[in-house]
Amino acid sequence: MSSYSALVVPTRLTQPVHIRLIALDQKAVQRIASGGVRRLAGTDWHVYLDSHYLDGHAIRPATNPRAEVLIREAGIDLAGTIQGTALFLGRDGLGGECDVPRHLIGLAEQLFNLPLAA
């Protein structure tokens, strides 16, 4: 099991944007592979977005305007809105996971006017 520093942007504006150490184990990877999580990729990072299911049917999670602004400002041209809690991680040269890049943390600090400890 590997652990990485991730930037977490909750959907609720009352919950703070924060850095969190996460462990990616086999169960987490299976959830991603089964479509329980949506993924968008930047140049050296990617973001996982919650997809919620109830009784096997997809339900639309709450919009996440902070994550949407961060993704757009980081250079991704989005066609729609972003829903669900966003978990930003770095992407290594082989497309695997690594710690969230410092420049993405700095952009979040600037956009949301708050300090984040890595």
Per residue in 82-103, pLDDT (tens digit) is: 888 889 999 988 878 899 999 9
Domain limits for position 97: 2-112
Angstrom distance (rounded) from CA 14 to CA 12: 5
Q: Which residue has the tokens 């009784």?
A: 55
Answer whether 74's CB lies under 8 Å from 104's CB.
Answer: yes
Q: Output the CA–CA distances (angstroms, integers) from residue 79 to 11, 71, 104, in the order listed.
A: 19, 12, 21
Among 10-14, 27-31, 54-58, 67-71, whose mean pLDDT is lowest? Answer: 54-58
Q: Report yes or no on 118 lying in a domain.
A: no
Q: Report yes or no on 58 lying in a domain.
A: yes
Q: Report yes or no on 76 lying in a domain.
A: yes
Q: Report yes or no on 117 lying in a domain.
A: no
Q: How many domains does the chain divide into? A: 1
Q: Report yes or no on 37 lying in a domain.
A: yes
The pLDDT score that the predictor gives to residue 34 is 57
pTM for this predicted structure: 0.85
Residue 35 has pLDDT above 90, yes or no: no
Angstrom distance (rounded) from CA 103 to CA 114: 15
